[in-house]
Chain A
Amino acid sequence: MPQKVAIIGTGQTKHAAKRTDVNIRELVNEAVTRALIDAEVQLDEIDAIMIGNMEPFEGFMFPEHWAVEGWGGYLKPSVKFNTGGTVGTTTIAASYYYIAAGIYDTVLAIGFEKQSDGHTQTAITTVGDPVWERTMMAGAVGNFALMASTFIAEGGVTDEHAAKVAVKARHNGARNVNAHLQMPDLKVEDVMKSELLSWPVRKLDMCPQSDGAVAVVLTADHLAKKRCARPAWIRAVTTAHEQQYMGDSPKRLAVMRSQTAASRRLYKMVGITNPRKELDVAEIYEVASWAELAMYQNLGFCEPGEAGKLIDEGVTLMGGELPVNPSGGVLCTNPIGATAMIRVAEAALQVMGKAGEHQVPNVKTALATGYGGNAWTDAMILSASF
């Protein structure tokens, strides 16, 4: 029988555009120290460490080897993952499988990126296939603008809907001490008047580039119950990939095949039939305001064409029926190698009742997703009980 797996502690750095006060080793150490304190676990109780990071962003191959003392990996098993935006969830999924398999009981998962050490848009452009795509790639912004245009063409969403999502994220982020962007007074008009980067994406529609790290302590059921009064159980984990090239799924955002497949598979695994009603909170990897709207449909929170209505009715706001990204989400904080794991850490905080000022009341079931590469998806369900 597989072991059940729970999250018993998390730690995040203060995320910011430039953490020039620390190097990678020190940045990671900040998150790890906080996670160990939060979980009340000593380093010698950690059986293995799983790390997620995207080397091209810092121009550093095996940065985790250099930073080993910062994350406590000395003479411990460790493995490094690199799957793009999803890497944080990929790393949690790996930790989950290793513990479920009984190979390790307690795993420390780490995600980090120090974007200010390199050129983010350039590293994102090299995601493009060198022969077919790279000369035409235009960083994250151009790519998301193209994707958003496919979604707008389907109808039902406006600039104002997108602006409302951007405002929701920044208002939520203002209540999260770790969030990079803190904009409690942002208004819809401010977003709609912000600089047009690449139609339809305006500056405030887009996520920032951040320096940051996150660490999560996961453990097997027999330890979780002893160590933590209210752990966040990982009920189910899944991943769905796309085909090789950017244009293989032409509608990209409007029809995100991987996200639809992954979420439906996940809901089936835990018996969810109406995600909007049965989920208490969602921490999703939204990247841009427009993406969040599309993901409402792809994740089954609403019918196709009704994403605008969902934000208009306040369903996904704090206090709404299904709050989405109470942390402020990727729109407030985006250290790429950490971003997806922050979604999991934030979902865990909600389930554990430790989210502080951005806590959603009585969370029993939470969804966390990762998004990356060629529009592929990781997804998992966290729950207060198993």
Chain B
Amino acid sequence: MTSGVAIVGVAQTCYEAAKDHLAYNELVYEVVAKLLRETGVKMADIHSQITASQDMFDGKTISSMSVNEVVGGYLKSEAKVAADGLQAALYGAARILSGSFEYTLITAHAKESESRRPAVTVSMFDPFTQRPLGLHDAISSGLQAERYLHVSGVTEENMAELSRRRHLDAKKNPLAQRAGDFTTKQILESPQMAGPLREMMVSPSSDGACAVLLASAERASAFGKRAVWITGTGNCTDAYWTERDLAEARALELAAAKAYKAAGIRNPAKELDVAEISARCAFEEPMYADALQLFDGDPRAWIRQSAKGEGIAVNPSGGAITGNPTSVAGLTRLAEAYLQVSGQAGEHQVAGARTALAHAADGICGQGHTVVVLRGNSGN
């Protein structure tokens, strides 16, 4: 590939319930400094930056203003997407493919600890008919879970099995927030959130940041095995949550089809070695894995298999369910997919991983989806 885009490095903070000791610029500088140190790239050579954050979570109009200096934006071309950081990565890749930039630095940040999630997320809902009901995103997720369980036959026990496995895998990821060897009983008996969802089936409130450095083919050649190619991308927006069947993820099917086609993938379940899927809630994972064609048939069978660690490796990092902030979660998936196919995932490395998928969801009940397929330079 001579005209492609590669990831040449990633950096993440550890994910925590509350990073009370860090201001936003310090939080993001931590990952930027780490990324520059590890890649050896100088900020003077980076002229393009895309950041991702949400004004409502940050409690600041133009939330990127807190970080544009520490991402090296002075007199340079920084732009902010008000969506998941994986969308920022797609835009960053476009900037490089346009021939205008050789590098693009992508960052995403959020500190969910600084606001009250229900007060923030109520503002996603229809102002005329839904906000008066006091809706927030835990409630809409509960409604969606109820609908998905009804249609798919997936049970609360299935969700607990999957959640148990992801929290167990997270023990091997030093950056993970909520990790542990929990029993399904503990998960099923954790406090009820909404509908069938229990606390241990939903991502906890999380603070953190992630950075990814994208490079042109020419620049990437100097990075050897640490350069990982973006071979396919897709993005799609669905109807508003009350105007579609919440048991389906049609937008994700379309986004994935586009990414697979570009990457030349015909049978994702066989050809992908790892999938990092943004699932804040346990039921989202089988729903999204289905839309991504990671299994065929009964989601209950896939859950039982995946919970035993069989089949395609899904969320070996533990996944978003163990705690990744809004806006950051999808970029974290990309960083983790990168670590896997470049053989740098440490204790949670999937042996021989060469092709990986990263996914992000945006909006109420996954209204927007983004998919990226990566391919490493060689097996490991």
Contacts and interface: CB of A to CB of B under 8 A. Distances in A.
A74 B239 CA distance: 6
Interface stretch (A64-72, A142-150, A225-233, A345-353): A64-72
Interface residues of B, number: 64
B238 A241 contact: no
Interface of A: 1-2, 23, 48-49, 53-57, 59-62, 65-66, 68-69, 73-84, 90, 93-94, 96-98, 100-103, 123-124, 126-127, 129-131, 237-244, 257-258, 261, 372-374
Interface in B109-142: 120-121, 123-128
Interface in B255-277: 255
Contact of A93 (B54, B79, B362): B79
Interface in B87-104: 87, 90-91, 93-100
A123 B94 contact: no
Contacts of B80: 81-83, 90
Given A74-B238, A75-B250, A81 B79 contact: yes
28 contacts: A55-B123, A61-B124, A65-B363, A68-B239, A68-B367, A75-B251, A77-B234, A77-B236, A79-B81, A79-B87, A80-B83, A81-B82, A82-B55, A97-B98, A101-B95, A103-B233, A124-B61, A127-B65, A129-B60, A240-B75, A240-B77, A241-B73, A242-B74, A243-B74, A244-B69, A373-B62, A373-B64, A373-B65
Nearest to A89: B79
B62 A94 contact: no
A77 B91 CA distance: 12
Nearest to B125: A66
B317 interface: no
Contacts of A78: 235, 237, 368
B66 to A, nearest CB: 7
Interface of A: prevailing SS: mixed
A97 B91 contact: yes
Contacts of A54: 55, 61-62
Interface of B: prevailing SS: mixed
A74 B123 contact: no
A79 B120 CA distance: 20
A258 to B, nearest CB: 7
Contacts of A126: 59-61
The 7 A-B pairs with the shortest beta carbon distances in the complex, nearest first, are: A101-B97, A100-B98, A82-B82, A239-B77, A244-B69, A241-B73, A77-B235
A127 B62 CA distance: 6
A61 B75 contact: no
A23 B127 CA distance: 10
B94 A101 contact: yes
Nearest to B60: A126
A61 B123 contact: yes
Contacts of A55: 54-56, 82, 123
B364 interface: yes
Contacts of B123: 55, 59-61
A59 B128 CA distance: 13
B61 A65 contact: no
B284 interface: no
Contacts of B99: 1-2, 100
Contact of B239 (A69, A98, A240): A69
Given A65-B237, A97-B98, A127-B62, A239 B78 contact: yes
B223 to A, nearest CB: 21
A100 B59 contact: no
Given A65-B362, A79-B81, 6 more contacts: A49-B237, A53-B82, A77-B234, A97-B91, A101-B96, A131-B23
A45 B93 CA distance: 23
Contacts of B127: 60
B236 A79 contact: no
B68 interface: yes
Given A55-B82, A62-B124, A123-B61, A103 B237 contact: no
Contact of B83 (A79, A96, A374): A79
B76 interface: yes
Contacts of A65: 124, 237, 240, 362-364, 367-368
Q: Which of B23, B62, B66 has the most CB of A within 10 A?
A: B62
A376 B66 CA distance: 14
Nearest to A56: B61
A73 B362 CA distance: 14
